Amino acid sequence: MESYIELIIQANQKKFTDVERVIAQYFLDGNKELGIQELAKKLSVSNSSITRFCKKIGLANYKELIYLYKYSSKGAKNQNDSSISYVNLNYSLLLNDIIEKLDKEEVKKAALMIDAGRIIHYWGTGYNAFCGEDFQFKFSRLGKIVNVIKDEHSISMMAHGVQQGDLVVVSSISGDNEAIQEAVKTVSEKNAKVIVITANEKSPYKEFSNAFCLTSSMGKKDMGGISPQIPVLTVIDILYTEILAMYHEDTIKSWIKSEVILKGK
């Protein structure tokens, strides 16, 4: 099991400069903890470079880095405690990355489109299909009719039945399926509204979307036992909360009405 400090460094490694990669490698190799001046001398870097490295991985200073580094090593000896802490840290890293990547303006646009539409087509395969069930449950309570399509073949067929003004929500962590890309292109050409939820910043779906909600994916190696649908579910929660915040009174009334129906009263 990877240590906490390894997870933090790996989650941020794309942001590192060449100097910061040298500092990162020192800790990834499990070397002895040193004072900031000793480390700067050993690696031939400046104190300020080490401080910037700490801030880049989300820590306040070098003292916090060393504390976490020591705790990681000790925590590995206690499997029960480390398992809980390990998952907790993974959730923190993942949620921070989602919030950092998600554009507030895109969230607002997506929320307005969902609020304006009554019939919503939700497309997602694999783990994304499970997220569709959560989407359907949440937004059905707000009076929306949600049609969840869970396989590639059905998505391709349904794309031709989508009408102008319809809303399609496409959920795909990878965002690079050719068949789904063609389906998204088809509905876009029909002037249907498209919301894309993906972890792929360069997804070809983006070209055909009206709102592009970028989320996170730490990859199989770094997820640390966290369910891979969490990045999409988090975006769904944010969209749902955004609508509640925009139209609090009306949505609460709709929610109460749906609860009454569900209870059969």
Closest CA to 212 of 201, 225, 228: 201
Please give the average per-residue pLDDT across 88-103, as a whole number. 81
Q: Is 241 left (phi over 0), alpha (psi -120 to 50) or beta?
A: alpha
Residues 188 and 160: beta-carbon distance below 8 Å: no
pLDDT of residue 248: 63
Assess whether pLDDT exceeds 90 at residue 103.
Answer: yes
Encoded tokens for 100:
């950092």
Using a cut of 0.85, tell me whether the model's pTM lies above it.
Answer: no
Q: Where are the alpha helices (DSSP H) in 57-103?
A: 62-75, 79-101
Using one digit for the tens of pLDDT, what is the confidence trace for 109-155?
999 999 998 899 999 998 899 999 999 999 998 889 999 999 999 99
pLDDT bin (cut points 50, 70, 90) of residue 14 is confident
pLDDT of residue 115: 92
Mean pLDDT of the chain: 85
Phi and psi at residue 109, to the nearest 5°: -60, -45
Closest CA to 196 of 182, 183, 212: 212
Rounded-to-integer distance, Cα 114 and Cα 205, Å: 18
Domains in the chain, CATH or no CATH each: 4-74 (1.10.10.10), 102-263 (3.40.50.10490)
More confident residue, 32 or 82: 32
Helical packing angle, 62-75 and 47-56, nearest 10°? 60
Using one digit for the tens of pLDDT, what is the confidence trace for 159-216?
999 998 899 999 999 999 999 999 999 999 999 999 999 999 999 999 999 999 999 8
pLDDT of residue 61: 87
